[in-house]
Amino acid sequence: MRTVVAERATAGRLRRYYRLTDTGASRLEVEVERMRANATIATARLRGRHGLAGGTA
């Protein structure tokens, strides 16, 4: 899902830099869509609960 692209010592500490792999990007896209769908459902439920007509609370 990610791969190390560089390692550098900075102030005595090792820092690693990562890149998202194609597989990781695909999984992330699926997760984003799942979260977007959940947010849409939650928004609809909140609007129904508070009687909002499309505005924000």
The answer to whether 36 touches 48, Cβ cutoff 8 Å, is no
Q: Does residue 41 form part of some domain?
A: yes
Range of the domain at 43: 22-50
Q: Does residue 42 form part of some domain?
A: yes
Q: Does residue 13 form part of some domain?
A: no
pLDDT of 54 > 90? The answer is no
Q: Does residue 33 form part of some domain?
A: yes
Q: Does residue 9 form part of some domain?
A: no
**Count of domains in the chain?**
1
Q: pTM for this structure?
A: 0.64
Q: Does residue 6 form part of some domain?
A: no
Q: Does residue 32 form part of some domain?
A: yes
CA 7 to chain centre: 25
Q: Does residue 45 form part of some domain?
A: yes
Number of H helices, E strands in the chain: 1, 2
Each residue of 10-34: pLDDT tens digit? Answer: 999 999 999 999 999 999 999 999 9
- Residue 1's nearest CA partner among 17, 16, 22, 15 is 22
